[in-house]
A and B are shown apart, each in its own frame.
Chain A
């Protein structure tokens, strides 16, 4: 707020100096800040006036912009470039750990990491899913859906075993990953993904869980191996997390199954979605933008039929947030962390780690 005010002032001053013909009234009005007026009625009046003016200006600007665009269209010129809105993501703090495609050290490091064997298809992924000590209601339901999402996943009852013992057991049985769903108050709230035999341990906070039956018009997944979409994992840490997730799924999807699993990272939150898609042929409607389309599809009759992809969500739907990445398998006491979320990192809204 304060900053904006300053800006308007600084813009105003030269204006006033330039043309002094402007009535003094306006100058005075602008210079008096509504917050300095002590009378509440007067203050709110001035404030409302200012706000109204701003709104008018904004509308005028938008109108002018639209007009310019329309004129350009009519004259067949290039329309003026569209403004890109400033979002938190595209004003992200500069991060030197963002991977560059020509970085040989990155690829060498990737080849040497713990997932190399799985991603090069030397080992087939085999996932063990278990829970925390006590689970009920939504926990088991979530696990049964996870089992349908991840191929070659096996559910084992937790019993009273230590997690370290389970890791040992899974190692002996040739599992490649271990997923632990942690429930609190009958609601799954954390996910632990452990790469085996020596891979890292990622601890995620799980939120916004929507099970399949709660999704409207949901589909039922088939047994095909799903395709995997990993979005926006850019930094070193992001790459590592991406590879950890990638190692849960088989590397040879059945494309005719038309099943896709998405992990979309946005502002360090990883959104999970599970869809079935279908390519539909549809008669294209003859709309008023006919001129453009006709140009594109001159002479071809097939262009009348457009191919569109339709999606059907299969669920579950949830959001993950990384809290820590530990080097080695689960070890809460003697573990070494590669990355831990610390409160001192949250000093900026525009700093992201994945």
Chain B
């Protein structure tokens, strides 16, 4: 008999991840414990168009109405609902007098979670950064009027670097500081409240052979959520560096990892572990207190790792990249939990942490959904929406009740350790399974009716 080694997938806990790829598609991957923990693609948003390649993405991972910001190659930034993929609004990042979006691609995008400047609930703040260093922070208010989709409340544009190319940018946990770095640009930190540079790194000295390696940062992250002073950066010369802005301008710790450029760096929740992925598909975790390698994540991964995401609650990380697989790994054992083939070169992956109560659709928002211009063109669709509205409202009232209940139960359990959360999810699931079943049916029905009308039109 042929001796074959099958990929043993222990299966992952219930989670929901979103991936973004080079053809401009957004794919939603869900894993459910009840179905054996095998993740599968449940939804695909967007049409196949290589000019709409996703360059950067950011998620506002809140309980109700999570939002997703996506920067495309065309220079457009779309904000969509992370639950059903409805486009809330699109803004153009290109200036009239500035360079064309093809030359000045967006490299960094951050959707602020906290409400800035006491704006209304349906506004959001975006930080974008382009290759040339044009950074802009704007808060966008979504108006209810059917014609105007979005209006820019306040916008603030400045340039981060004089020369060179920005390749990475990151906003810290408190959302007050941002770091930028790139080819020919040393890491620098900006205060976002008053747009001033507060710190810049200094390149390391020449080595013993008097050779100076040119500055080329490819990835960066903050070491912990609450502390903005420690930065981890990966360079093109396969070095990982730790900067402490309160100590010195040169790296505190610096070490090599393999022989291809570091393509992504992601921090863990514990505040000292980082996950490092490089250009030839190696993924490893490091302890940044000592700079020691904790271990590698082994599993036939052969394409450059473009993005790593850490699940906010479960001990799971996801990596994706040019080999078009989304891989889910266990942090503790560093085992591959499962891999999903997604057919395209992936650029980004994010987790949606509220998956357990994700079955509940954000109906309150859907009821008075701000319609964007495209939808208005299709009048039948609007009619359709109006027709479906009452159903949704009914659901809303029910769902709100349940959500409250769930929240209460969650608070009780909140004290428990993280590891127990898996089981919690399981038990919650069981309890709400029946309800969910009926709910799903309903939502399916409404969806189907929508599609049918769509077809007729």
Contact = CB atoms under 8 A, between A and B. Distances in A.
Contacts of B22: 112
Contacts of B3: 348, 350
A270 B45 CA distance: 38
B343 A106 contact: yes
A103 B344 CA distance: 12
Given A93-B4, A105-B343, A336-B263, A344 B300 contact: yes
B212 to A, nearest CB: 15
A323 to B, nearest CB: 11
B1 interface: yes
B300 A339 contact: no
A338 interface: yes
B273 interface: no
B257 interface: no
Interface in A130-182: none
Contacts of A351: 5
Interface string B1-42: 111111000000000000000110100000000000000000
Residue picked from B49, B261, B298, B343, most chain A C-beta under 10 Å: B343
Contacts of A336: 260-261, 263, 279, 304, 322
A174 B375 CA distance: 44
Interface residues of A, number: 33
Given A106-B343, A342-B302, A337 B23 contact: no
Contacts of B323: 338-339
Residue picked from A97, A236, A334, A335, most chain B C-beta under 10 Å: A334
Contact of A105 (B2, B6, B279, B344): B344
B1 A3 contact: yes
Interface residues of B, number: 33
Majority SS at the chain B contact face: loop
B279 A337 contact: yes
Interface string B240-280: 00000000000000000000110100000000000000011
Given A334-B236, A340-B281, A345 B300 contact: yes
A215 to B, nearest CB: 36
A69 B328 CA distance: 54
B343 A350 contact: no
A93 B22 CA distance: 28
Contacts of B298: 344
Given A86-B2, A333-B237, A334-B216, A105 B302 contact: no
21 contacts: A91-B2, A93-B5, A103-B343, A105-B48, A106-B343, A108-B23, A109-B23, A236-B343, A327-B304, A333-B236, A335-B260, A337-B281, A337-B303, A338-B303, A340-B302, A341-B302, A342-B281, A344-B298, A348-B5, A350-B2, A350-B3
